[in-house]
Structure 1
Amino acid sequence: MSTALYPLASLAQIEKTPSREDGIPGDLEEDLRAYGCKLIHEAGILLKQYMFSILYTMICMLRLAENRKQVAVATAQILFQRFWYVTSMKQFGIGDIGMGALYLASKLEECPIRMRDLINVYDLLQQRSTHTRSVLLSGNSSPSTSRRRLEFHYTPMSYFGNTFYDLKEALVVAEMQVLKRLGFNVNVVLPYGTLVNYLRLLGLTNREDVCNRAWGYLNDALQTPVYALYAVPTIVSAAILLTSRHLSIPLPSSPDNCWWELFDADWEDVWSVCGHIMRLYRERNIEDRTRIMGMVSKKGVRQWLEDHHTFDKRG
């Protein structure tokens, strides 16, 4: 697949991203990328940009892209992942860029979102994140804790206050920066149609559990950088491999008859994509979770870098 059609990160960008050059460890950057994509996904659901029925979505995908809203969410997540191969998280917050990417993607997929609605949703998500972080840090997550104290209550912002105008300005700037730093190369090739074709070729479309699980892996992979690193056939092959392993479905994999070679996918690349996806499911302790929630803005990232730098000096 031509990289002109589907732009991928260069070897230099992969070896050392701008964020890592600024002192952000690779595992932390990976977690921040995943959390930023999770916020995009949640915002899409709240904005009714996401379809929940996988089988219905597959049918729509085979028609004239009736599910443009879900496509917009997936497109935004891929643009978000590409952005961090050309820009550091020290310069822009993952919350702002996620909001800008979703706003831009809704235009690209011809299902525009009202700016005010998007700002309201991200304000709600940020308030909820702050509440969850405070609860985790206070250690009040035990069953004996008053349920009322743990409940989240959203406080709507004033449309004439500073918060709204600050978020509006951040949204406009983020959309502009995504376009500028990606060189207006915002073409995205999604894997869902390819998945349907591959499953049909392998004779697995009659298995609803296979379709659901493979589709889910492709959705989860949006929280990883793989769509900015590998071609679509490789990512789809990885989703099928994980599905076949977890559901104990035998597929030809002898040295002379490997099913992934039918799709021009390299085994090492397929296995690498599987690793990226499976790392999403690892257990995270409270410290890691609260650290990520506190680094949604560039201010939080810079504060972490400053604290970490000071600690290294003392050490």
Structure 2
Amino acid sequence: MIYRAILDTFYLTDEQLHNSPSRKDGIDEATETMLRIYGCELIQESGILLKLPQAVMATGQVLFHRFYCKKSFAGFDVKKVAASCLWLASKLEEECPKKARQVIIVFHRMECRRENKLATEPLDLNSKKYSDLKTELSRAERHILKEMGFVCHVEHPHKFISNYLATLGTPTPRELTQEAWNLANDSLRTTLCVRFKSEVVACGVVYAAARRFRVPLPENPPWWKAFDAEKSGIDQVCRVLAHLYSLPKANYIPVCKDGGDSSFTNKSWNSISQPIPKENSPSAIDDKSKEREKERDIGRYRSMTEVIVPRIEQQKIRGHLEKSRHHRDRDYHNSSYSSRDEDRHRHHSYA
């Protein structure tokens, strides 16, 4: 059973984040940050392709960050964990679960596009590669649930943005609300979701959006006090977002070690698609049925030729006999006509 109706208590200190399992495995801070952003971008992009609500993609990214607060990037591949987080989030939010087949196909296609494999063949659902990916997707989901203690409750800052702006009573343009919403989406690519509560993150994105559009907010008394937030937390949220926008585009960095504490390896994702060598597989059954149909067609053709060919031969023989008879008759008439002419010519010559 997955517990959701409890308080959100998964928050870490800065010291705990600096001593993450990835750091203990020798992965530096820049690489860990790059992989976190890369995994969140995979979840966001795949969620859009699967036509999932934003709440599902946000939940998947929060689960992704929480998992790597307990496990290392060296032990679990970022691509497979991202796919499993999105698959699990689709079951938790909005009652719109997606099938494993849909998630695997989308992530496979995204990987091919990122590697510029435009002429790649679609993933064969009867191949060994697909079977391995489906097994690893389920295994990754079990690892995530185990590390979370089956507690997957997530509270997002998005639902607080409109309420906070309406409570302040300040006339705000629609662009400000949209900007705050966009900042909340971008904050999911950082570790803010495991450092601060959703109320603090919501106050931070509202503050940043108001500063950008130069909309004054109440300061006497400070408006953030009404929402149980501190100015230091708001400033930290703004600094993290500013640092995020200064980073280059995230790319995949292969740091996952083969043979780690999980069975996730890159062999299944990069292997060549091969059919499953089983006699009862759908492809084998189709091949056998096609062979039987081909044999039946050959048998029909042979039976038809056995009947038709003698008829054709008989027609040829009959035509040949009629033609020879016609030639004999013509030769007979020609010969008789020529003899009569010869007698007539001889008679006139004697006369």
Match of 2:70 among 83, 86, 105: 86
Partner residue in 2 for 1:16 = 19
- Find the aligned partners of 1:238 and 1:95 in 2 and give their Cα distance: 30
> Percent identical across equivalent pairs?
33
Q: Deviations over 1:101-138 (max 9, x none)?
A: 1111111122110111100000011112222xxxxxxx
CA contact (8 A) 1:19 1:88 kept: yes
Structure 2: gaps of 5 or more residues: 1-5, 261-351
Tell me the CA shift for residue 43 of structure 1. 0.4
One-letter amino acid of the structure 2 residue matched with residue 207 of structure 1:
P
Please say if 1:73 is aligned against 2:65: no
Partner residue in 1 for 2:228 = 264
Question: Which structure's CA Rg is the greater one?
Answer: 2
CA contact (8 A) 1:130 1:293 kept: no
One-letter amino acid of the structure 2 residue matched with residue 298 of structure 1:
C
Taking structure 2 as the reference length, what is the TM-score of the superposition? 0.67
- Find the aligned partners of 1:237 and 1:216 in 2 and give their Cα distance: 14
Match of 2:246 among 262, 282, 287: 282
Tell me the CA shift for residue 263 of structure 1. 1.2
Partner residue in 1 for 2:86 = 102
Q: Secondary structure at the match of 1:85?
A: helix
- Find the aligned partners of 1:36 and 1:5 in 2 and give their Cα distance: 26
Number of residue pairs aligned between Structure 1 and Structure 2? 252
Tell me the CA shift for residue 190 of structure 1. 1.5
- Find the aligned partners of 1:231 and 1:115 in 2 and give their Cα distance: 31
Partner residue in 1 for 2:9 = 7
Q: CA RMSD in A?
A: 2.0
Match of 1:43 among 37, 40, 46: 46
Please say if 1:34 is aligned against 2:37: yes
Q: Secondary structure at the match of 1:257?
A: coil
- Higher normalized contact order (CA 8 Å, seq sep 6+, divided by chain length): 1
Partner residue in 1 for 2:306 = none
Match of 1:241 among 203, 207, 211: 207
Moved over 6 A (4+): none
Structure 1: gaps of 5 or more residues: 50-68, 132-150, 303-315
Q: Deviations over 1:84-103 (max 9, x none)?
A: 11100111011111111111
Tell me the CA shift for residue 10 of structure 1. 3.2
Tell me the CA shift for residue 205 of structure 1. 6.7
* Within-5 A mapping of 1:171-210: 171-204=137-170, 206-210=172-176
* Within-5 A mapping of 1:57-68: none
- Find the aligned partners of 2:9 and 2:133 in 1 and give their Cα distance: 30
- Find the aligned partners of 2:50 and 2:21 in 1 and give their Cα distance: 32
